[in-house]
Structure 1
Amino acid sequence: MKVLMLAVAVSATVASMPAQARQGDVLLRMRAIMVAPNEKSGSVLPGFPGEKVKVDNSVMPEIDITYMVTDHIGFELIAATTKHTASGITGTTGSIGKLASTWVLPPTLTVQYHPIVEGSVRPYVGAGVNYTLFYSEKASDALEGAVGSTNVHMSDSFGWALQAGLDIDINDRMFVNLDVKYIDMDTTARLSTTSAGVQRVRVHLDPIVAGAGIGMRF
């Protein structure tokens, strides 16, 4: 009887153990993210001085992996891609509306600090670097209707990133994750048009990336 009671107690203790992140652990997270640009646009030059663009938000799934090199320090790499639309704000480009769309692939590597090793709620902060690739750029039908056939190219971006997050235990292996990042991201869009020549606009995107999801410790 005592042996049975001891086994039950041990099982209960193991079941209640938090999903602690220890040296050598791999944390795999799957999140839904919203990428919200905080864009600051220059003028569309040389043809449309004073006319600027805005960029919409995007919601997509994301996966990331963290390797704990010590009990407190981890390296995280995220993989996700989102689609965004750029639109004119005022003047001629504003009357056109949607100008172009692009897919964005922003692999980001951060070094995280996890101050709490044991506990069911574990915050972390991080900082790192980002390289953003813009691909499958496409002019809108409205833009091509106004200025003719248009080729769109957006330059890639290299910048820094900041991060803060929280892991909340479900059981000894799984946890809920909340995460937010700020990414330094800039691009120059070049629009080669039939009737308006080559137009360029510099945009500081600098998005906030907010996510929530589920994680597992291996």
Structure 2
Amino acid sequence: MRALSFLPLLAVAAVPQAAFAEAGDVLLRVRAVVISPTENSGSILPTFPGEEVEVSDAIMPEVDITYMVTDNIGFELIAATTEHDFSGTSGTTGGIGQLGSTWVLPPTLTAQYHFAPESSVRPYVGAGINYTAFYSEDASNGLENAVGPTSVSLSDSWGWAVQAGVDIDLNENIFLNFDVKYIDIDTTATLRNATIGTQQVDIDLDPFVFGVGIGFRL
């Protein structure tokens, strides 16, 4: 009978311990993310009034790191870069199709509130600031075949970001992560060409970023 009294203790010891979030923890997450712009485009001016552009989705890996200041409050910094195409949607530019492409680097810092830090399932919400840099902009072959050599540039952007997600423990130091962000990104695309001159279009990209991955408690 005395041996039976140890069975509950052995059962507890056999259960994987939760990777509870607490002050001082560093959480590293590796995600696959889908970046889906909800773009709102102005006209391509001055030559193509009423003609707008659309921006493609992208799927890429992302790495982020969170430092827990308290058991409930953490700061997350994400790092990822994605390539997007932009195309005309109607008229002359719609007939050309893809007008160009650009790489996007949007480092984003959010302050998070983690609910239930002592649970094995820990939802969180966050809000913060985003800086987006555009680089390696390039005109498409279709555009240059139509009007000749063209340079493309997109202005960098400052904006806000909000997020929600959840960490689900797999063992003491590893957890699943599901995360969604909405990021405010506004830019002006400029196309310079000897045939049609300088054209500009204002684009509110404002993407949703859907992520799923694995996290590690360092």
Q: Same fold (TM over 0.5)?
A: yes
Q: Secondary structure at the match of 1:145?
A: helix
C-alpha distance in structure 1 between counterparts of 2:170 and 2:193, whole Å? 54
Amino acid at match of 1:58: A
Distance 1:28 1:184 in 2: 24
Cα deviation for residue 69 of structure 1 reads 0.3
3-state SS of 1:95 partner: helix
Counterpart residue number, 2:114: 114
Letter in 2 for 1:94: G
Q: Distance in 2 between matches of 1:119 and 1:44?
A: 52
Q: Which residue of 2 aligns with 1:72?
A: 72
Instruction: Tell me, yes or no, if the aligned pair for 1:15 and 1:172 is still in contact at 8 Å.
Output: no
User: What's the CA shift for 1:115?
Assistant: 1.6
Instruction: In structure 2, give the amino acid aligned to 1:114.
Output: H
Distance 2:10 2:113 in 1: 31
Partner of 2:104: 104
Counterparts in 2 of 1:19-38, with a 5 A limit?
Answer: 19-38=19-38
Aligned residues: 216
1:15 deviates by 5.0
User: 1:40-189, aligned counterparts within 5 Å?
Assistant: 40-189=40-189
Q: Secondary structure at the match of 1:94?
A: helix
Contact kept, 8 Å, 1:15 with 1:171, in 2: the verdict is no
Contact 1:79 1:107 in 2 (8 A): yes
Partner letter of residue 26 of structure 1?
V
Report sequence identity in percent: 61
Tell me how far apart the structure 1 counterparts of residues 44 and 208 of structure 2 sit (CA, whole Å): 24
TM-score if structure 2 supplies the norm length? Answer: 0.95
**Unmatched segments (≥5 aa) in structure 2:** none
AA matched with 1:70: T
| 2:212 counterpart of 1:201 | no
Residue 11 of structure 1: how far off its partner (Å): 9.0
Partners of 2:11 and 2:130 lie apart in 1 by: 44
Structure 1: 5+ residue stretches without partners: none
